[in-house]
Structure 1
Amino acid sequence: MKLYTEEGNQDWVFNNTPVFFVRDPIKFPSLNRSHKRHPQTNLTDATMFWDPESIHEIMHVFSDRGTPATLRHMDAFSGHTYKFTKPDGSFKYVKIHIKSDLGRKTMTRQEAAKIAGEDPDYHTRDLFNAIETGNYPTWTVYVQVMSPEEAENYRWNIFDITKVWPHSDYPLRPIGKMTLNKNPTNYFEQIEQAAFSPSTMVPGFAASADPLLQARMFSYPDAARYRVGTNYQQLPTNAARCPVYSPFQRDGFMSFRGNYGADPNYVGSTTLPLSTRKVEENYHDHWVGEVTAFTSEVTDDDFIQPKMLWDVMGKQPGQQDNFISNVAAHLSGAIPEVQKETIKLFNRVDPEIGQRIEKALKA
């Protein structure tokens, strides 16, 4: 989502699950490659897929909520922890949730497979037609808010994107609403050339020390420059709708917006900094440095929240059954050794899950 504000653009690059597959940025490239095709067969490969670091994310993806019925019935989550900041340097940690006002609606694996085969453009068509006929979908935007002092003593590491903040601890607080009320007039120009990055932020919104978020802020603009071109931010779909002065970004192929004229492309020694506020170093800075040095080692702590999710599924008829069926159907394509290790992982969440998956595989 790209929000065009009076102070520049604010990009929200969110997922439709509140957690993610990895928390160590060094594993980001490997995560994407594990989902791609096998280098020899050029086929999708279940053995490559089933090497999860976050069983929590796997449970979201393979549950009913991992297969939205339409984009209009899909929620979005920041996943990462961000900051709401004030000019004096004070801030609160936040997680952002964007919930469909139509409610969450999902498909079964069988329904999704049928639609994918018969109408692979189903989601795009559904959204386009809804907007075109004036049936504008809306979402309510919520935040969870936590003080730095609370973060230091919280049960979970707030910079770990494989963890959530339970709503019982930090309730959702509504802050706004989003409405989709216009379709693109030229899909390539306005959508294919659109580029988003978590690093595109406005004053008052800031990144936390989440290592994966920090990595994404660097990698996304690099990907956009490679995919779209050096001056991708000059394109109308990406350009800010307000005056933004950035003397470091100029020249390069296809520069066409004045290129800052004769202004020198450096910050002069007499130029005052944008902010002269003084923020004293404090204990919280030291705490942040210590707790973001976590490794990607999987411990017993990583299976507590997945167990909580399994219990939530049990309160909704059929969700646990669908989850077991979805996992077994995909895992059946992996080699026996991988199946065995995956069952061990699910046993650490709840022995019932491992037993039911093993039974379904044998069946």
Structure 2
Amino acid sequence: MTEAYVSVQDEVKTTGPLTTESGAPVADNQNSETAGIGGPVLVQDQLLLEKLAHFNRERIPERVVHARGAGAYGTFTVTADVTKYTRAKFLAEIGKETEVFLRFSTVAGNLGAPDAVRDPRGFSLKFYTEEGNYDLVGNNTPVFFIKDAIKFPDFIHTQKRDPYTGSQEADNVWDFWGLSPEATHQVTWLFGDRGIPASYRHMNGYGSHTFQWNNEAGEAFWVKYHFKTDQGIKNLTQSEADKLAGADPDSHQRDLREAIERGEFPTWTVQVQIMPVEDAANYRFNPFDLTKVWPHEDYPPIEFGKLELNRNPENIFAEVEQSIFSPAHFVPGIGPSPDKMLQGRLFAYADAHRYRVGINADHLPVNRPHATEARSYGRDGHLYDGRHGRAKNYEPNSFGGPVQTDRPLWQASAVSGVTGDHVAPSHAEDNDFVQAGNLYRLMSEAEKERLIANLAGFIAKVSRDDIAERAIDNFRKADEDYGKRLEAAVQALRG
């Protein structure tokens, strides 16, 4: 059994007599205890009750989003010197390797949903660094549907099952997107060719948000991460995906597991875009807007690492289902930005895991630090294993407990003004449509045709004309030809 699955202190013995959960030997695991032959079962049969009670609790609440996932372990290797930008120790020298765990997922589907669907893919990466775990929680798209976390519950409700029908409803989806024009860029991504990756190995990953790097001198930089697949981009058409989802719902999970079993370890070239902090205020777009990218001609990506996945989990529940990721898990030299979606996620992700897995989820082997040791004063709660023994549970103390370093993980940012429910600051070229239009105009004619067909097929299911018209109008504002062709395609389908 691997260290990732079994605690070094409590290795599970898989041979010898069968026992109860408390270690007592089991005499009969085939027949429950009854009051005489053929009589009713007795409540004193504690093995029966233990097995049934455990079985009833084998499933923890699934993730509200990203429920359907697969994961693998691997290594991240530094390939270029970035020490002038960050003091993170795991990035300190060329050739340095760090163990990682990567969880892929779809967003909207439940735990039993098929893999081959049109949906963004989660790309959540845990670096087990010597300064603690660093979680980079991104997607396979560089942008997202909304720019403020306060809209996230409403957005996800439109993607999930309607409270009355129990199904995903086109009316809900397009009503929200039509009333939220900031979604136009990501919707164009989603309904384009990259909306259904052929496998987890054949897609890019992105940190998506803007983050801060800071160096030993105290200088700060804004950064965006890119993970470019070395297997090449491969996608499925809608008809191909429909067939695959029905024939093999586990297609992407199976592909990843079997590729690693064959020794065909997938890799990604890791890049970073770097913006000097002083550029942000006057940049043509709001650099902290999750619905926008930084054009590469403005800030060219710099290659600095290689990611390889080379080991499968031993137990899916223990290592994939119970794995947790939080954008708030930073290490010295890396920190957050004012991105309003990121700011909300700093709370929401950790809170979701505290509810779903438990307050001690970070103690589980897949989640705990591998290259260092966690030293905190957190105690007790569900699944607490008593690891602290007699150590004091308060700070400050005079008994030799861990103490603060007095050095923040990231550089402070200046703020000004009055508190309030503010709209994000507007920059010279900020609007909700320019980058969606740019993306459309980059597409070949064949790509445009598939995009229009995918969008039209979904919009045509909307029951109200005003919702459909408002949705189409957003694409028209992105590009006149885009809207015109989409309108015609929807009209043809709606008769």
TM-score, with normalisation over the residues of structure 1?
0.92
**Deviation sequence 1:205-264 (CA, Å, 0-9, x none):** 1111111101101011111011111100000010012122222x2211211151363223
Aligned to 1:28: 152
2:368 paired residue among 227, 234, 239: 239
Change (3 A) 1:322 1:287: farther
Cα drift, residue 296 of structure 1: 10
Residues matched between the structures, number: 355
Cα drift, residue 27 of structure 1: 0.5
2:231 paired residue among 98, 102, 112: 102
Give SS of 2:431's match: helix
Aligned to 1:322: 450
Cα drift, residue 136 of structure 1: 0.6
Change (3 A) 1:153 1:288: farther
Change (3 A) 1:280 1:182: closer
Aligned to 2:203: 74
1:302 paired residue among 423, 428, 432: 432
Give SS of 1:4's match: strand
Larger relative contact order, structure 1 or 2 (CA cutoff 8 Å, min sep 6): 1
**Deviation sequence 1:81-105 (CA, Å, 0-9, x none):** 0011124432111000011001211
Please identify which structure carries the higher helix content: 1
Are the aligned partners of 2:220 and 2:276 in contact in 1 as well (CA < 8 Å)? yes
Cα drift, residue 34 of structure 1: 0.8
Aligned to 2:461: 333
Aligned to 2:384: 255
Give SS of 2:270's match: strand
Change (3 A) 1:300 1:222: closer
Give SS of 2:272's match: strand
Change (3 A) 1:240 1:273: closer
Cα drift, residue 132 of structure 1: 0.3
**Aligned: 1:48 with 2:172:** yes
Give SS of 2:188's match: helix
User: Whole-Å Cα distance in 1 between the matches of residues 362 and 282 of structure 2?
Assistant: 41
Q: Within 5 Å, give how 1:119-198 maps onto structure 2.
A: 119-198=248-327
Larger radius of gyration: 2
- Any gaps of 5 or more consecutive residues in structure 1? none
Give SS of 1:339's match: helix
User: Whole-Å Cα distance in 2 between the matches of residues 319 and 280 of structure 1?
Assistant: 43
User: Whole-Å Cα distance in 1 between the matches of residues 292 and 389 of structure 2?
Assistant: 44
Change (3 A) 1:11 1:260: farther
User: Whole-Å Cα distance in 1 between the matches of residues 346 and 246 of structure 2?
Assistant: 36
The RMSD of aligned alpha carbons is 2.4
Letter in 1 for 2:376: S
Letter in 1 for 2:274: V
User: Whole-Å Cα distance in 2 between the matches of residues 276 and 14 of structure 1?
Assistant: 27
Of the structure 1 ranges 79-88 and 125-134, higher mean CA displacement relative to structure 2 is found in 79-88
1:275 paired residue among 406, 409, 420: 406
Change (3 A) 1:326 1:119: same
Cα drift, residue 142 of structure 1: 0.3
User: Whole-Å Cα distance in 2 between the matches of residues 226 and 207 of structure 1?
Assistant: 24
Aligned to 2:102: none
**Deviation sequence 1:125-167 (CA, Å, 0-9, x none):** 1111100000110001100000011112210111110111001
Letter in 1 for 2:363: Q
**Aligned: 1:62 with 2:191:** yes
Percentage of pairs with the same residue? 41
Cα drift, residue 201 of structure 1: 1.4
Letter in 2 for 1:311: R
User: Whole-Å Cα distance in 2 between the matches of residues 140 and 289 of structure 1?
Assistant: 43
**Deviation sequence 1:305-334 (CA, Å, 0-9, x none):** 111101111xx3511111000000111111
Cα drift, residue 286 of structure 1: 3.5
TM-score, with normalisation over the residues of structure 2?
0.68
Letter in 2 for 1:195: I
